[in-house]
Amino acid sequence: MAPRCATWRSVVLALIAAGAVVACERGNGPVGLGERDALTQQIVNMGFRPDMIVEHENYFVVEGDILIQKADLLRRMGGAGRTTGEPGVPPIQPQYVTNIQVSTSKISYIYVNIDATVNSAWATATRSAISEWNAISSTAIRFVEMAPADLVVSTGGEILYDPIAQSSFPLAGGAPGPTITIDASHAEWGSTSQKKFVMVHEFGHNTGFRHTNLVSLGEGLLPWGANLISGTPPTDAVSVMNGNTGGTLWSGFSYYDQVAARSLYPAPPAPYVASVSTSPSPARQYLPFTVTVNGSGFDTVDPQVLYTRQGCDPRWGSCTGVYSAPQGIFAVKTPTQLVFNMAFSITGTYDIQVRSGPKGGPSQPPRSFTVLSYY
Ligand SMILES: [Zn+2]
């Protein structure tokens, strides 16, 4: 008999924003008896077995660890309420991603807060998981520990059935799933490596990844949808997004995990730089000068200017740098022009490139300007 581990094949229907709206309209009081039966029926309509639905005050837990908020069910009952198998609704396939995905403007800047309820071991695992996602090349996915957060990692036991952790799917409008909750009874669970695997997996759900093995787990299309990601096979035994994998040691993303990430959230395209000029020209050592970059594709969340000094030996100091919009350095920032001030103490020729955010590819080829001696 298989051990009862890892029922964190969890996905939370925490459409927080929508739920809040419903709460305002209906008030926060307990759901009435007739209404409760209707909610249960709605879950059955989604394809769940009636004997696997456990009711809590504000939500249901189905099949062990899938959390469905009552507020969201109420909202859905006011809408189409269609489920898979009905006419016009696609059948379940071996698929991977929710209908709603994180928006292009948010995917490279998912701000994460690890709140005070998270112990240091889980906080370390969370930060390691963030580093792993951020290290996948050629994908826009990027988490940043910053406030105000889009995604809060916390520890709590009340809402959990028995998983190690559970997270939420992206919200309507393209915000990432706003929560990861570590089960309080698992605060001391697992090795560093096992915790890291769990957190990498949960962050995957926040960006819309469903379980790679959802078919074999018997997980339904559900209201979130499950769409095949281009370039990935129906099964992948080493995918970090397989469900029922709690306890697995972290050994990296599978090849197809990375294919899926790049397919779903490709790296932002490199802008084009037509020309770079300085004023005064040529630029002079020590003196501030203005750099004007003309081109296209600068209309992204965060166009960044990279500079590299030709012939620089990195053993003697930094040869490269980045100027980006969050630093507030652009005097002019339009889709076709960036203007900013610089000053260099070292003479030489500097290569300039522009990229769309930290994970965007740099424009090619580099354009250059020269800094001459002041003297
Ligand atoms: Zn999961």
- Read out DSSP for 220-285? --TTT--BPPTT--S--TT-TT-SS-TTPPP----HHHHHHHHHHSBPPPPPEEEEEEEESSSEET
Contact (CB, 8 A) for 339 and 330: yes
Residue 296: pLDDT band with limits 50, 70, 90: very high
Report pLDDT digits (tens) over 76-115: 554 333 333 333 333 333 337 888 999 998 999 999 999 9
Span from the CA of 211 to the centroid of ligand 1 (angstroms): 6
Rounded to the nearest angstrom, the distance between the alpha carbon of 57 and the centre of ligand 1 is: 23
Please report the pLDDT score of residue 216 as a whole number.
84
**46 Rama sector, left if φ>0, alpha if ψ -120 to 50, beta otherwise:** alpha
Expressed in angstroms and rounded, the spacing between residue 7 Cα and the centre of ligand 1 is 8
**Around 112, how many Cα atoms within 13 Å sit in the side-chain half-sphere?**
31
Q: What does the block give as tokens for 57?
A: 């005050």
What pLDDT, on a 0 to 100 scale, did the predictor assign at position 5? 30
Q: How confident is the model at residue 28 (pLDDT cuts 50, 70, 90)?
A: very low
Ligand 1 center from residue 237 Cα (angstroms): 14
d(CA 129, CA 114): 12
What counts of helices (H) and strands (E) characterise the chain?
Answer: 7, 18
CA distance 323 to 268: 17
CA–CA gap between residue 40 and residue 227 (Å, rounded) = 26
- Which pLDDT does position 71 carry in this prediction? 64
**Confidence check: pLDDT of 302 > 90:** no
Say how many Å lie between the CA of residue 219 and the centre of ligand 1: 11
- 11: CA distance to ligand 1 center in Å? 6
Question: Distance, CA 324 to ligand 1 centroid (Å)?
Answer: 35
Q: What is the dihedral of CA 74, 77, 83, 88, to 10 degrees?
A: -140
Q: Would you state the pLDDT for residue 318?
A: 87
pLDDT at position 159 is 52
pLDDT at 21 over 80: no
Taking only the tens place, the pLDDT of each residue in 168-220 is 999 999 999 999 999 988 999 999 999 999 999 999 999 999 999 888 888 87
Rounded Cα distance, 286 and 150, in Å? 41
In this prediction, residue 238 has a pLDDT band, given cuts at 50, 70 and 90, of: very high
Distance 242 CA to ligand 1 centre (A): 7
CA–CA gap between residue 342 and residue 329 (Å, rounded): 9
> Of the ranges 8-12, 84-88, 152-156, which is most confident?
152-156
- Rounded to whole angstroms, the Cα distance separating 211 from 214 reads 5
Which domains can be identified in the chain, with CATH numbers?
Answer: 84-264 (3.40.390.10), 272-372 (2.60.40.10)
DSSP 186: G
Q: Give yes or no for residue 371 having a pLDDT over 60.
A: yes
Tens digit of pLDDT for each residue in 317-351?
889 999 886 666 899 999 999 999 988 889 999 99
Structure tokens at 223: 């209201």
* Phi/psi at 330 (5° precision): -90, 120
Query: What is d(CA 182, CA 129) in angstroms, rounded to the nearest whole number?
Result: 14
CA of 266 to the centre of ligand 1 (A): 22
Share of the chain above pLDDT 90, in %: 51
Distance from Cα 2 to the centre of ligand 1, integer Å: 18
Q: Judging by beta carbons within 10 Å of its beta carbon (0-12, 13-18, 19+), is residue 87 exposed, middle or buried? A: exposed
* CA–centroid distance, residue 310 to ligand 1 (Å): 47
Q: How many angstroms is it from 344 CA to the middle of ligand 1?
A: 50
Expressed in angstroms and rounded, the spacing between residue 214 Cα and the centre of ligand 1 is 9
Give the residue with greater pLDDT, 159 vs 11. Answer: 159
From ligand 1's centre to the CA of 68, what distance in Å? 15
Instruction: Compute the distance from residue 142 Cα to the ligand 1 centre, in Å.
Output: 19
Where is pLDDT greater, at 253 or 77? Answer: 253
Spacing, Cα 210 to ligand 1 middle (Å): 7
Alpha carbon of 205 to ligand 1 centroid (Å):
7
DSSP state of 187: T
Query: Residue 219 and residue 221: Cα distance in Å, rounded?
Result: 7
Residue with more model confidence, 171 or 18: 171
How many angstroms separate the CA atoms of 14 and 170, rounded?
Answer: 9
DSSP H helical ranges for the chain: 16-26, 33-45, 70-78, 104-107, 120-135, 192-206, 255-264
Question: Quick check: 113 and 152 in contact, CB under 8 A?
Answer: yes
Position 65 scores a pLDDT of 61
Q: How far is the CA of 169 from the centre of ligand 1 (A)?
A: 10
pTM of the model: 0.70
Asked if 273 and 364 count as a contact pair (C-beta separation under 8 A), the reply is no
Q: Please give the mean pLDDT across all residues of the chain.
A: 80
Dist. CA 257 → ligand 1 center (Å): 14
20 has pLDDT over 80:
no
Question: How does pLDDT run across 47-62, given as a tens digit for each residue?
Answer: 677 777 888 777 777 7
Is the pLDDT at 375 greater than 80? The verdict is no
Q: Nearest 5 degrees, angle CA 266-CA 272-CA 273?
A: 145
CA 129 – ligand 1 centroid, Å: 14
pLDDT at residue number 260: 93
Question: How remote is the CA of residue 105 from the centroid of ligand 1, in Å?
Answer: 25
65 CA from centroid of ligand 1 (Å): 9
Q: What is the pLDDT of residue 326?
A: 61
